[in-house]
Amino acid sequence: MNTRSMRPALGALALACLCPLALAGRPIVTEDAGVLDRGACEFETFALRATQRGAPSATGLSAQVGCGVGYRSQVAVAVATTRSDGQSEHGLALVGKTALNEPGPTGPAWTLAWGLDAAKPSGESLDHESTFLNGVMSLPITERLKLHANLGWSHSQSARQSTTGWAMALERSLPSGIDLLGEVFADDRERSPWVQVGVRWAVVPDKLFVDASWGMQTSSSRPKALTIGLKAAF
């Protein structure tokens, strides 16, 4: 995830979680290879609370609207805001995905995710913060079990550095309309990986979903993040 310098550290962490390197398969960070059909749209929102030893907690809120635009692609606009220790920060992102193949029922699906985002710390202007590319693979293992894998690159304007990140997730679908998810992800700047679990429930099949996730980074300060979200397809 892309962060600016420590401002404060947990607020940057929260904004990074709210403005991920890709559209992300809520409620986890790992992206899946699915792409919306032309004319199909989704509205997605979620709230986040992040904590870390020796630092004030942070809260955040994100909202995103995305639509299929044809040419095996989709585009979305996302906005986010976080608050920590009396300071607020806002983010704006333009993100998209393009399918690279047409997989069969048992073959892997390959997708390229991309995006630009901007950040506005307290008392500053909204500036371009980062650019990213993310290679995505989704592979059905069984009828109800899928593997997702990501390998991505991002460049931070404020930090003047590039970052390579990776993520892997398993998604298990239950007959009740509930999906169980687990993932691990990290990058070459923060090598201690995050471990996260999530659940998603189709309240109205293919139309309305609620979800939640809980994750922890395996570093000495033990950052943790809890999210609760909702998605509507139309």
Q: Write out the chain's pLDDT in tens, 234 residues.
A: 333 333 444 444 554 555 443 456 789 999 999 999 999 999 999 999 999 888 888 898 999 999 999 999 999 999 989 888 888 888 899 999 999 999 988 899 999 999 998 988 878 888 998 899 999 999 999 999 999 999 999 998 888 999 999 999 999 999 999 999 999 999 898 878 999 999 999 999 999 999 999 999 998 888 899 999 999 999
194-204/87-99 β-pairing: unpaired
Report the SS3 class of residue 69: strand
Looking at the structure of the chain, the number of domains it has is 1
158 part of a folded domain: yes
The widest CA-to-CA distance across the chain, in whole angstroms, is 51
4 part of a folded domain: no
Q: Are 48 and 63 in contact (CB under 8 A)?
A: no
1 part of a folded domain: no
| Token reading at 144 | 């109800």
Q: Structure pTM?
A: 0.90
For residue 67, the enclosing domain spans: 9-232
116 part of a folded domain: yes
Tell me how crowded residue 199 is: count the other CB atoms within 10 A of its CB. Answer: 15
228 part of a folded domain: yes
Q: Are 228 and 212 in contact (CB under 8 A)?
A: yes
80 part of a folded domain: yes
Q: Are 19 and 204 in contact (CB under 8 A)?
A: no
CATH number, domain containing residue 169? 2.40.160.40
41 part of a folded domain: yes
